[in-house]
Amino acid sequence: MSVQQEQRKYPRMSVSDAEYGVRFQVGGLAIREGRLVNLSAGGCGIEVAITDVWLLDVGDVLEDFHVDHPDLPAVPLSALVMRMLGKVPGKTSGYVLVGVEFQRITPFVRNLIADHVSARMGPE
């Protein structure tokens, strides 16, 4: 097990299909074109066009955050931006990878996400 895996509180699965969607708000602006790239019970990674997140920074809160999938709870979450990869001065096109941590999530919803991730990852 790597050091990074040891530091993770929850298992994380990679997402590569369009079966998963993500949508949220940044400063009142609805972002619906993000792509989910990984998911855990503690948070997720999303790929977002730089034009949609140019005002966003580490420490900001994404409101009305939804992970859209038929097997996941359809409840709004709050997500704290923990890291941003690919946002550099002068970059005006392309995508940014945004790592978020779920905030104020109920144990019930967290467990539903954890069970979903566990079922999709299969036995280790």
Rounded CA-CA distance 15/17 in Å is: 6
User: Is residue 102 within 8 Å of 118, Cβ to Cβ?
Assistant: no
The SS3 of residue 113 is helix
Phi, psi (deg, nearest 5) at residue 15: -120, 125
- The encoded tokens of residue 106 equal 């109920």
Phi, psi (deg, nearest 5) at residue 72: -115, 155
The SS3 of residue 74 is coil
Q: What is the CATH number of domain 3-110?
A: 2.40.10.220
Count of residues in the chain: 124
Rounded CA-CA distance 75/43 in Å is: 14
Q: Tell me the pLDDT band of 87, cut-offs 50, 70 and 90.
A: confident
**18 or 40: which leads in pLDDT:** 40
When the pLDDT of each residue in the chain is averaged and rounded to a whole number, the result is: 88
Average pLDDT over residues 11-31: 88
Average pLDDT over residues 112-122: 91
Which run of H or of E encompasses 118? helix 107-121
Reported as half-sphere exposure (CB side, CA atoms, 13 A), residue 58 has a value of: 9
User: Is residue 48 within 8 Å of 96, Cβ to Cβ?
Assistant: yes
Residue type, 40: S
**Residue 3 clears pLDDT 60, i.e. is over it:** no
